[in-house]
Amino acid sequence: MPYPGITFCPISDDDMPFLYEVFVSTRTDELAPLGWTDEQIDAFLRPQFHAQHTHYNAYFDGATYDLILLDEQAIGRLYLYRTDTELRILDIALLPSHRQQGIGGALLQDLLDEARAAQKIVGIYVEKFNPALRLYQRLGFREMEDTGVYYRMEWSAEAPSPAQGT
């Protein structure tokens, strides 16, 4: 278990309001300078949320879409696509009240351990302004591509960790 009390549960249609809440929480800092009302933010983000959800389901057949539970209470989401060579993190996000507590790092370390055991890489796209970018770098993820808004990052057991030097 990566973190005491953490479990996972496959998402269902009933979870969409919670998943939208998590999605909105990841965009709050980005939208704050605009001074929009809650209604304007909702009108802007709701179509993006639905487009993202539709995209993941259309292009990542066989991915797992899970709620992250802490003591059986939903606190975030983990969308993961496993291939023969890669664990691709489609999305990992926690509600703000559960960030900066080591939960995300523990979840990521668990995925890195799985990848190491299976001799796979771990891939993720990370927005350049995402505060979690520093966590990914500390864990040994490397920037593979700059797509403009995102970095495509990879972790590999063969790559030296930041502590070992590069």
> What is the token pair recorded at 73?
């209470």
The 10s digit of each residue's pLDDT in 8-45 is 999 999 999 999 999 999 888 888 888 888 899 999 99
The 10s digit of each residue's pLDDT in 71-117 is 999 999 999 999 999 999 999 999 999 998 999 999 999 999 999 99
* Interior angle at CA 127, CA 59 and CA 118, nearest 5: 55
Residue 166 confidence (pLDDT) above 50: no
The 10s digit of each residue's pLDDT in 130-154 is 888 999 999 999 999 999 989 999 9
Q: Quote the pLDDT of residue 30.
A: 82
| Amino acid found at 13 | D
What residues have CB less than 8 Å from 82, skipping those under 6 apart?
62, 63, 64, 88
Domain ranges for the chain: 6-156
| Amino acid found at 150 | Y
Cα distance between the two ends of the chain: 31
Q: Has domain 6-156 been given CATH number 3.40.630.30?
A: yes
